[in-house]
């Protein structure tokens, strides 16, 4: 039987305690609840921790695209695959600030800057730290995803005022080696520890639809939920199709009900995390997105592109949220 963390439980919501010792069988039995029971439990947990009609808007910018030495089998930016995505240099600060201003005008509250690196070099990190400080000065929350970090690098980002670091576990421990060989899952967990110890909030999630089983999707959530502190943000990405990568040969788009069930499990296992419907919303119907919000998702990326792939158009998102009576500002 799992043990409830007494310290966290004291101030936790009555519907779902914050726990860090979830088991796979527990996650499976929650996932397999009758759908109405599952969604009710997830929605009750959600309401105890968040305004249920508020969605966080995050905006994403690729500050350094392509030419990445890593072999992540899903990614258009790996130099190892012929995907048609070319390598760029690190963007100039002025271009990044201009993009952040546009994102703020479009309603984003968080600005995420992503670089196709295995890990940043010192002089590259200096430039990203300057960008973080400037973007924060616009009144936006800042997030970066730059690959693996040492503790010292995380400390430098913290000193620049960085709010969040995104580094995904991507999939279950069992499926991981089928997708990536150039960095281990432990490497990723080490980076998350460095980020956490530097006092930066953690954004960590993964990808579904690469050919993994439901047990892998749940294994990924259990891994995240059993970190010593839950990630503050959990992005759930549906694999966005990319031609020329290994995952293109194994991918299978998840059944929509499976997606909603998984979001509900993420909400229940990590009651206070902001769960983001991240990549892959372009394949979701409005009805599926509505179900996912009901199941506890409360963040999206806005903007027509993510890094190298598409995201729903702004007018489609606006129409959906209007019809659902949801907005990015608390009601
Ligand atoms: N290079 C850095 C790294 O991987 O650590 C940061 C950028 S990387 C693009 C950030 C995350 O985006 C990956 O860990 C993966 O979870 C997600 N991602 C990449 N390509 C994707 C795709 N085609 N569909 C869905 N998610 C994707
Ligand atoms: C995350 O989990 N999803 C974002 C962000 N973190 C950096 C990236 C999605 C990338 C989708 C594929 C692309 O556009 O190239
Ligand atoms: Fe490189 Fe990140 Fe893409 Fe992996 S996911 S190939 S590390 S850009």
146, 176, 192, 131: CA torsion to nearest 10: 10
Alpha carbons 169 and 192: distance in angstroms, whole number = 9
Q: Is 48 in the pocket of ligand 2 (CB under 6 A)?
A: no
Per the CB < 8 A criterion, the answer to whether 229 and 174 are in contact is no
- Domain range summary for the chain, segments of one domain joined by +: 21-328
Q: Is the CB of 168 within 6 Å of ligand 3?
A: no
The Cα 304–Cα 200 span in angstroms is 28
Torsion of CA 127, 130, 136, 142, to 10 degrees: 30
What pLDDT is stored for residue 9 in this prediction? 42
83 CA to middle of ligand 3, Å? 13
pTM above 0.85, yes or no: yes
Cα torsion at 274, 230, 169, 237 (round to 10°)?
Answer: -10
Q: Longest C-alpha distance within the chain, in Å? A: 54
Sign of the alpha-carbon dihedral angle for 69, 73, 76, 81: positive
Q: How far apart are CA 302 and CA 298, in angstroms?
A: 13
CB 60 less than 6 A from any atom of ligand 3? no
Active site residue 276: yes
Length of the chain: 331
Pick the CATH number of 21-328 from 3.90.1150.10, 3.40.1440.10, 3.20.20.70, 2.40.30.10: 3.20.20.70
N- to C-terminal Cα distance for the chain? 40
pLDDT value of residue 15: 61
DSSP state of 68: B
Burial of 316 (0-12, 13-18, 19+ CB in 10 A): middle
d(CA 304, CA 170) in angstroms, rounded, equals 23
133 CB-near residues (< 8 Å, 6+ apart): 160, 161
| Token pair recorded at residue 301 | 């990326």
- Which pLDDT value is given to residue 330? 62
Q: How far is the CA of 324 from the centre of ligand 3 (A)?
A: 35
Residues of the chain with pLDDT under 70: 1-15, 330-331
Q: Determine whether 75 is an active site residue.
A: yes
Q: For residue 28, give the 3-state DSSP assignment.
A: helix
Calpha distance 276→263 (Å, rounded): 9
Ligand 3 midpoint to CA 70 (Å): 6
- CB neighbours (10 Å) of residue 329? 11
Distance 95 CA to ligand 2 centre (A): 20
The 10 Å Cβ neighbour count of residue 315 is 8
H/E stretch holding 155 reads helix 151-159
Catalytic residue status for 292: no
Q: Is 272 a catalytic residue?
A: no
CB 64 within 8 A of CB 116: yes
- In degrees and rounded to multiples of 5, residue 304 shows phi and psi of -75, -20
Residues 109, 110, 116: CA angle, nearest 5 degrees: 155
Note whether 106 and 314 are within 8 A (CB): yes
Catalytic residue among 127, 188, 267, 276: 276
Q: How far is CA 325 from the centre of its chain?
A: 24
- Give pLDDT, residue 329: 73
């Amino acid at each position: 039987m799992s043990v409830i963390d007494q310290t966290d439980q004291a101030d936790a919501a009555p519907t779902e305690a914050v726990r860090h010792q979830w088991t796979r069988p527990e996650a499976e039995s929650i996932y397999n609840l009758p759908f109405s029971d599952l969604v009710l439990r997830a929605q009750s947990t959600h309401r105890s921790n968040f305004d249920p009609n508020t969605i966080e808007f995050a905006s994403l910018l690729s500050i350094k695209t392509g030419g990445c030495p890593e072999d992540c089998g899903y990614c258009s930016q790996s130099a190892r695959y012929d995907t048609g995505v070319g390598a760029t240099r690190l963007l100039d600060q002025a271009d990044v600030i201009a993009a952040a201003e546009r994102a703020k005008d479009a309603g984003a509250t968080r600005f995420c800057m992503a670089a196709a690196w295995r890990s940043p070099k010192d002089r590259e990190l200096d430039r990203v730290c300057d960008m973080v400080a400037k973007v924060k000065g616009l009144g936006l929350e800042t997030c970066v995803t730059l690959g693996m970090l040492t503790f010292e690098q995380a400390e430098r980002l913290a000193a620049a005022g960085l709010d969040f670091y995104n580094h995904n576990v991507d999939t279950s421990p069992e499926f991981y080696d089928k997708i990536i060989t150039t960095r281990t899952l432990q490497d990723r967990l080490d980076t998350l520890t460095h980020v956490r110890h530097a006092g930066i909030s953690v954004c960590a999630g993964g990808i579904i639809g690469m050919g993994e089983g439901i047990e892998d999707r749940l294994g990924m959530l259990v891994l995240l939920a059993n970190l010593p502190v839950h990630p503050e943000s959990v992005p759930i990405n549906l694999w966005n199709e990319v031609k020329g990568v290994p995952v293109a040969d194994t991918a299978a788009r998840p059944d929509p009900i499976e997606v909603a069930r998984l979001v509900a499990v993420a909400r229940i296992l990590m009651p206070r995390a902001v769960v983001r419907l991240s990549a892959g919303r372009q394949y979701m119907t409005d009805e599926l997105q509505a179900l996912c919000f009901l199941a506890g998702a409360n963040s999206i990326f806005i903007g027509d592109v993510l890094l190298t792939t598409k995201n729903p158009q702004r007018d489609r998102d606006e129409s959906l949220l209007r019809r659902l009576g949801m907005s990015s500002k608390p009601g």
